[in-house]
Structure 1
Amino acid sequence: MPTANAALAEHIAEAGVSHAGLAHRVVTLAASRGLPAPRFNHASVARWLRGEQPRGRTPDLLAEAFTGLLGREVTRADLGMRAATVPPDLGLAYELDLNAAVAAATDLYGTDVHRRSMLARSTYTAVAYLVPALRWMTAPAAQLLDRSGSRRVGVANVTAIREVTATFRRLDNLFGGGYARSTVVQYLADEVAPLLREGAYTAALGRELFSAAAEMTLLAGWMAFDLEQHPIAQRYLIQALRLAHAAGGQALGGEILAAMSCQAAYLGDGNGAVDMARAAGQAARSAGSAALLSESLVSEAHGHALAADPRACALALVDAHQALDRSTPGGEPAWLGYFDAAYLAAKTGRALLDCGDPTQAAISMRASLEMAGGYSRGRAFNLALLAGALLDSGRVEEGCATGRQALDAADGVESARVNGELASLAARASRHRGALPVRELLPALPTARRGVRALPATR
C-alpha cells in the first residue's frame, strides 16, 4: 500500500537509512544549529510518512540530512514537504523578555541562511523602527545574570566573534556588502546562535557575548543595507539593538540607531531619519561619546535636509562639527574608528547636496577624500557624490573627470549603494548632455539601480 508521502519514502529507501537513524540525524543537526532539541524517534518518521507535515525548521533539517546521505542537494519540496513561509513580523519585534529576544535574533539568522529569498520578499516599513527606539530609551537597564547551559562560553569564544567581525568589517569596507555577507550570516547561525541559545556564562562574560553578537548582527544588517536589501537590513538592525541592550552597550546602541537613521534617509524618509538620529544622540550623550554624538547630529542634519528644513540642517551641522572637535584620540570605541573628519565631511556634503547647495557640498566632498586607506567603497561613493555636486554647480568638465575616477574606484566593489550613486550621477550628467565630456562619460555609467529601494510607509 503506497504511503501518503511517497517522496519521503523513496528518499529513505535510496539512502538506506532506518527510521530511527533518520530521526537521530535530524536531532543531531538541530543541536549543531543551536535549535531547541526536538524529541524525534522512529515513530516521528512513521508519522511523516503517513503525511504529517513536520513543524518549524524540521523539513529543512530533513533536507539537509538527505543532502549529506545522498551526496546531492535535496530540498524540502523533493521530500514532499510544503513550501516554507516566513512570518511577516520575523525579526521586527523588540522583545522585552531575554529568552524571546534570543529566539527572535537566532530565528532571523537561521531564516536568512535557509530561506533568504523569502525573507527578501518581506517589506520594509519606516514605522517598524519606532517601537524598538522607544523601548531602547525607556526599558530598564539590562540585568544579565549568570546562566547555566549546555555550551560553556569562554573568553576565547567572545574573542573569536570580535575578531571575525573585525575581519569582515574590513572586507566590507574594501569590497562592499556583497562580498562576504553570506559568510557572516552563516557564522551567526552556526557559531553565535548556539552560544546565545545554550550558553553557560557569568554575568560579566554574558555581557561581552551579547555585545559581540550585537556588533556582528549590526554588520550583517549594514551589509544587507549596502546591497539595498532593506527589509532584511531592518530586521537585523532591530535585533542588533536588542542584543546591545542586553549587553548594556549604550554607545553600541547609539551606533545602531544611527544606522537606522542612515537607512531611513537613504530611502527618502527625512522625518524618520531625524527621529532615529535624535535617539542615537541620547545614547551618545549617555555613553559620553563625542564622536558618536557627532555622527548622530550629522545624520539628523541629513534628515532635516530631506524634510526641506535648511535652517535645522545648518544648526545640526554646526553642532556635529563642534562635537567631533571635542572627541579625544583613544577615547572612543574601536568600532567607531571609521568616524573621523573625512567621514564627517562626506556626511556633511551629502546633507548639503540634498539641501540644494551643491557648491558647498562639493567643498565638503573634496575634504572627504582625505580619508584613510582601506575604505574602497567609501572612496567610490564619495567621488560619485563629488562628481554630482560639481555637475550641479555647473563645473561640467571637472564633474565628468571626477565621475571617471568614481568609476575606477568602484571597480570590484559589490555595493548596490555605490551602483545607485553612479546611476544618480548619470541622471545628473544627462542634464548637460550637450557637453562633450558628458557624452563621453554617460555610456560608462549605469542607468538603473541593481537593487530595489523600498518606499517608506506613510507617517
Structure 2
Amino acid sequence: MKRSPNHRLREAIRESGASYDALAHDVRVIAASAGNTALRTNRSAVAHWVAGAQPAEETAHYLVEALSRRLHRALTFEDMGLSSSAADLGGHPDLGLSLGPDPVETLGRMGRADIERRTFLTGSAYSVAAAALPLGVPQEYAARATAVEHGATAGAAEIAAVRDMTAMFTAIDERHGGQHGRGAVVHYLTTDVAALCRARFRTERQHAEMLSAAASLAYLAGWKAYDAGEHGLAQRYYLQAYALTQEAGDDAHAAFVLRILAHHGMDNGRHEHVLGLAEAALSRAKGGTDRATESLFVICRARALANAGRPRQAVQEALRARGMAADATPGDMAGWAAMWGAAPATVDSHTAKILQRLGDHSAAEKHHGEAAARYGDTAHQRIKALSIAAQGQMQCAQGHIDAACHTWHRALDAMEGVRSARTRKAVQAMRTDLARFRRRGARPAAELDERARTWLRDTAH
C-alpha cells in the first residue's frame, strides 16, 4: 500500500529552516539528553518520515521536541501528522505538558503511566516550550470547572497526615536517593491524596491547604524522576505541582515551584526561560516569606544570571543570598522549603555552581566543601555526597590530583546506600577526569579509578 506524504511534517521542517541532516542531529541530541544514546537517526530517516513513514514512538517524541525548539512554540503529534500508540492505549504523548483546570486528574493519569513505566512518559525529553508555560499563567488561577466529588468531610487532621507523609518520603529520598520508595510516592499521590483533593472540607482555606500539600508531594514525585535521569517526566510533575499551588492560591508556594522549574532548566542546559522563571519566582515570593526562604529565590536568580552571561550581577546576588541565609533564624523557613535542608547549605551549593560556571575553580571548591559540611552526616546524604564529588572535581580542575583523589574517596564513602542516577553520573565524570592521570601512571588515580569502576558495577540496575 502506497504511503501518503506527510505534508504537515514537511511544512514544519520548511518553516524551521533546518536541513534534514541538522534535524536528524537535533533528534539524536535530544534523545541522548533523555538517556537514549543508541538512536542513530540520519537524513534518510527524516526523508522517510516526510514521505509518510511513521517514526518509532520514542523517536517521534524527540522529533516533536526538536521542531518545537526550532520554531519556538509547542507542537503536538497532530500538528506534525504523527500518530501515537500512547493515545491508542489511553495515554497521550503531551500528558502533563499543560496547565489545565484539573491538575488532580492529570496527576492521576501521569501516575498510572509512571507506575506502568510507559515509555511515552518515562522516556520523554525535556520540553523547552513547556518550561515557559508558568510565565504565561495569570496570577489569579481559574477555579476548577468540575464539581468536587461527594464524600466524607475532611479537615486539619487529613492535611497534617499528608504533610507528615510527604516529610517522611522526602527524608528517605534525601538520605537514600530517589529510587527508594518512588513507586510508593506515586501510588500515594494518585490514590489517597488525589481523593482528598476532591473531598469536601469544612472551609475553603482547608481545601487550599490540602492542594498545597499535594503540590509538595507532586514535586517530590518529579524530583524522584529527575534523580532517575527522567527529565521529561520530572518536568511534567513540576508543572502539575505548579498548577496545584495556583489553584490553592498560595503565591509563595507557587514561587517555590517556579524556582524548581528554573533550576531544572539549568541542570538540563536549557537556559531559554530560566531567568524569566527565576525572576518570576523571586517577585512572587518577595515580602511573603521569611529571609531564609527568600534567600533560596535570590540564589536561584543569581545562578540564572550567571547562565545568562551576567557574571557581575550573579556574584552580587549570590553575596546577597548568603547574607540573608546567614542572618535568618533557624526554624523560620516555610515547611515546604525546610524539608529540603537548611538555607545556608543550599545557598553554598548554588554559589559553588555559579563560581564553577564563571571559571573560579578555587572559590567553587571552597563553597562545595562548605555545603557538604553544612549538610551534616546522614539526613541529606545524597546531596552531601554530590557536593563532595563536585569539590573533588574542582580540585582536579586546578591540577591538585592527590587532594582530588582523597576527596573523591570520601565522596564514594558517602554514596554508600544511595540509589541515584545523579551519583552514578558523578562517579562516571570522576572516572573521565581521572583518565589522563591514570594514563600517566599516577598510582592514586589508578587505585581510585578501580574503586569507582567497581562501585559502578555493583550499583548497576
Q: Is the 8 A contact 1:426 1:447 kept in 2?
A: no
1:90 aligns to what?
Answer: 95
Confirm or deny that 1:246 pairs with 2:259: no
Q: Is the 8 A contact 1:86 1:119 kept in 2?
A: no
Confirm or deny that 1:444 pairs with 2:457: no
Q: Is the 8 A contact 1:260 1:276 kept in 2?
A: yes
Cα displacement string for residues 142-173 of structure 1 (whole angstroms, at most 9, x for unaligned residues): 77999672343233222221111011100000
Aligned equivalent of 2:373, options 340, 357, 370: 370
**Alpha-carbon distance, 1:199 to partner:** 4.3
* Partner AA of 2:373 in structure 1: E
| Mapping for residues 8-407 of structure 1, pairs under 5 Å | 84=89, 86-95=91-100, 97=101, 100-135=102-137, 138-140=138-140, 149-199=150-200, 201-337=202-338, 338-371=341-374, 372-373=376-377, 374-407=379-412
**Which protein is bigger by CA-based radius of gyration?**
1
Counterpart Cα distance in 2 of 1:246 and 1:332: 22
**Alpha-carbon distance, 1:347 to partner:** 1.5
Q: Is the 8 A contact 2:174 2:381 kept in 1?
A: yes
Counterpart Cα distance in 1 of 2:241 and 2:215: 5
Q: Is the 8 A contact 1:251 1:289 kept in 2?
A: no
- Alpha-carbon spacing, 1:427–1:351, altered in 2? closer, same or farther (3 Å): farther
1:45 aligns to what?
Answer: none
Counterpart Cα distance in 2 of 1:132 and 1:410: 35
* Partner AA of 1:375 in structure 2: H
- Alpha-carbon spacing, 1:320–1:142, altered in 2? closer, same or farther (3 Å): farther
Cα displacement string for residues 355-413 of structure 1 (whole angstroms, at most 9, x for unaligned residues): 21111111111211222341110111011000001111121101111001111111210
Counterpart Cα distance in 2 of 1:280 and 1:263: 14
- Alpha-carbon spacing, 1:299–1:425, altered in 2? closer, same or farther (3 Å): farther
Cα displacement string for residues 27-69 of structure 1 (whole angstroms, at most 9, x for unaligned residues): xxxxxxxxxxxxxxxxxxxxxxxxxxxxxxxxxxxxxxxxxxx
- Alpha-carbon spacing, 1:94–1:209, altered in 2? closer, same or farther (3 Å): same
Q: Is the 8 A contact 1:270 1:304 kept in 2?
A: no
- Alpha-carbon spacing, 1:281–1:171, altered in 2? closer, same or farther (3 Å): same
SS of equivalent to 1:187 = helix
Range with bigger deviation, 162-171 or 84-93: 84-93
Range with bigger deviation, 359-368 or 280-289: 280-289
SS of equivalent to 2:373 = coil
**Alpha-carbon distance, 1:127 to partner:** 2.2
- Alpha-carbon spacing, 1:312–1:327, altered in 2? closer, same or farther (3 Å): same
Counterpart Cα distance in 1 of 2:307 and 2:423: 20
TM-score normalised to the size of structure 2? 0.73
Structure 1 spans left out of the alignment, 5+ residues:
1-81, 451-459
Q: Is the 8 A contact 2:353 2:364 kept in 1?
A: yes
Counterpart Cα distance in 1 of 2:160 and 2:149: 20
Counterpart Cα distance in 2 of 1:120 and 1:446: 27
Counterpart Cα distance in 1 of 2:288 and 2:336: 14
Cα displacement string for residues 159-194 of structure 1 (whole angstroms, at most 9, x for unaligned residues): 221111011100000001011111100111221122
Q: Is the 8 A contact 2:131 2:265 kept in 1?
A: no
- Alpha-carbon spacing, 1:447–1:89, altered in 2? closer, same or farther (3 Å): farther
Counterpart Cα distance in 2 of 1:270 and 1:432: 33
**Alpha-carbon distance, 1:85 to partner:** 5.0
1:418 aligns to what?
Answer: 423
Higher relative contact order (CA 8 A, sep 6+): 1
**Alpha-carbon distance, 1:447 to partner:** 11
Counterpart Cα distance in 2 of 1:447 and 1:427: 15
* Partner AA of 2:370 in structure 1: A
| Aligned CA-pair RMSD | 2.7
TM-score normalised to the size of structure 1? 0.73
Q: Is the 8 A contact 2:382 2:415 kept in 1?
A: yes
**Alpha-carbon distance, 1:261 to partner:** 1.5
Structure 2 spans left out of the alignment, 5+ residues:
1-86
* Partner AA of 2:283 in structure 1: Q
2:414 aligns to what?
Answer: 409
Cα displacement string for residues 258-282 of structure 1 (whole angstroms, at most 9, x for unaligned residues): 1112211111123433222222211
* Partner AA of 2:364 in structure 1: A
Q: Is the 8 A contact 1:272 1:303 kept in 2?
A: no
Counterpart Cα distance in 2 of 1:265 and 1:208: 30
| Mapping for residues 448-459 of structure 1, pairs under 5 Å | none
Cα displacement string for residues 210-230 of structure 1 (whole angstroms, at most 9, x for unaligned residues): 011111111111111111111
Counterpart Cα distance in 2 of 1:427 and 1:272: 31
Quote the sequence identity (%).
29
